[in-house]
Amino acid sequence: MSAQLIDGKAIAAEIRAEAKVAASALREQGIIPCLAAVLVGDNPASKAYVGNKRRACEEVGIESQLHTPSADISAADLLALIDRLNADAAVHGILVQLPLPDHIDEDRVIERLCPAKDVDGFHPANVGRLVIGLDTLRPCTPAGIPELIVRSGLEVSGQHVVIIGRSNIVGKPAMNLLVQKAAGANATVTVCHSGTTDLPSITRLGDILIAAIGRAHYVTADMVKPGATVIDVGINRVADESAKQGYRLVGDVDFDAVKEVAGAITPVPGGVGPMTVAMLMVNTVKAAQAT
């Protein structure tokens, strides 16, 4: 039996369309939603991510600024740029594309952001609000996960969600989001990580299995409960001579085998990836609405 394919591309397009309606309502009130992207250095992957985000802004009707300091910018100068963007009333959201060069402490930069403009939802104040269930700017990748599930006609409430990965960007915020007593949440959540003993015995308990590991095809069919919903967050490059760039992108899940066991599954690409950008649009509109 082949699983239902969760179409992240289509769901992300639906969410961007909703954000566009909200952005145009703001424009009618004279508020032009604006996202400032800070891209330090010339990491090609970061450039591509920021390019995708700016294209989405254009589609949704969000103005975007691009700030491109060179990789040797001092920490003090980068913090001064953040201060300027924090103080600029025309800027509603600030996105600092990670990773930053080694000589810059990412935590310090994130902590310098005005929490109300932290559209990635990484500032400790926003993380804290998420943990205690207050309204906040939620980290984009985890926030996209319940949207994918619920908009595919599937249930989150009451389900046992097993997450593999405990990063601050995906695993932990996904846990904090899905455990809340709220719509699209209210799940029983288990978090597994590199210190977990006998991982397959735990992943097999998941009605919903979320893989955020960063290892190609790590989740095999025997690790999945029959009928489970499988959300693959991973983006990994594997060599592929037939591809133009010499590689292709695959998830953390062995898609071809797991789709025969799962009830529903996200592809890579075209699953979680487009949702991350769509949720950034939602957060930017939300930040602009709050002004």
Given the rule CB under 6 A, which of 32-40, 92-100, 115-123, 188-196 is the region that contacts ligand NAD? 188-196
Q: Which of 167, 180, 186, 190 binds ligand NAD (CB under 6 A)?
A: 167
The residue type of 5 is L
Q: How far apart are CA 62 and CA 280, in angstroms?
A: 11
Q: Residue from 234, 263, 279, 288 that binds ligand NAD (CB under 6 A)?
A: 234
Dihedral of CA atoms 179, 149, 128, 203 in degrees, nearest 10, equals: 50
CB of residue 36 vs ligand NAD: minimum separation in angstroms?
Answer: 20
97 carries an active-site annotation: yes
Cβ 235 to ligand NAD shortest distance, Å: 4
Return the number of other C-beta atoms located less than 10 Å from residue 45's C-beta. 11
Q: How many residues line the site for ligand NAD (CB under 6 A)? A: 24
27 versus 160: smaller Cβ distance to ligand NAD: 160
Distances (CA, A) of 198 to 165, 193, 201, 259: 14, 11, 6, 22
Instruction: Specify the residue, 67 or 193, whose C-beta has the smaller distance to ligand NAD.
Output: 193
By the rule CB under 6 A, 194 interacts with ligand NAD: yes
CA atoms within 13 A on the CB side of 220: 4
Do you find a cis peptide bond into 99, omega within 30 degrees of 0? yes
| 159 noted as active-site residue | no
Interface residues for ligand NAD in 126-165 (CB under 6 A)? 141, 164-165
Q: What is the C-alpha to C-alpha distance for residues 121 and 95, in angstroms, rounded to an integer?
A: 10
Interatomic CA distance for residues 271 and 257, integer angstroms: 17
Q: Is 2 helix (H, G, I), strand (E, B) or coil?
A: coil
Residue 119 lies near ligand NAD (rule: CB under 6 A)? no
Is 257 a binding residue for ligand NAD by CB under 6 A? The answer is no
Q: Which of 36, 233, 281, 282 binds ligand NAD (CB under 6 A)?
A: 233
Establish if 276 lies at the interface with ligand NAD (CB under 6 A).
yes
Binding-site member from 23, 169, 175, 288 for ligand NAD (CB under 6 A): 169
Answer for the pair 219, 164: CB distance below 8 angstroms, yes or no: yes
Stretch that binds ligand NAD, among 85-93, 110-118, 122-130, 194-202 (CB under 6 A): 194-202
Q: Does the CA dihedral 204-7-279-75 come out positive or negative?
A: positive
Q: Is 280 in the site for ligand NAD (CB under 6 A)?
A: no
Helix 44-60 × helix 272-289 angle, to 10°: 60
- Given 120, 207, 232, 254, which residue is catalytic? 120
Active-site amino acid positions: 53, 97, 120
Question: Which residues in this chain contact ligand NAD in the complex, by CB under 6 A?
Answer: 141, 164-167, 169-171, 192-194, 196, 199, 212-215, 233-236, 272-273, 276
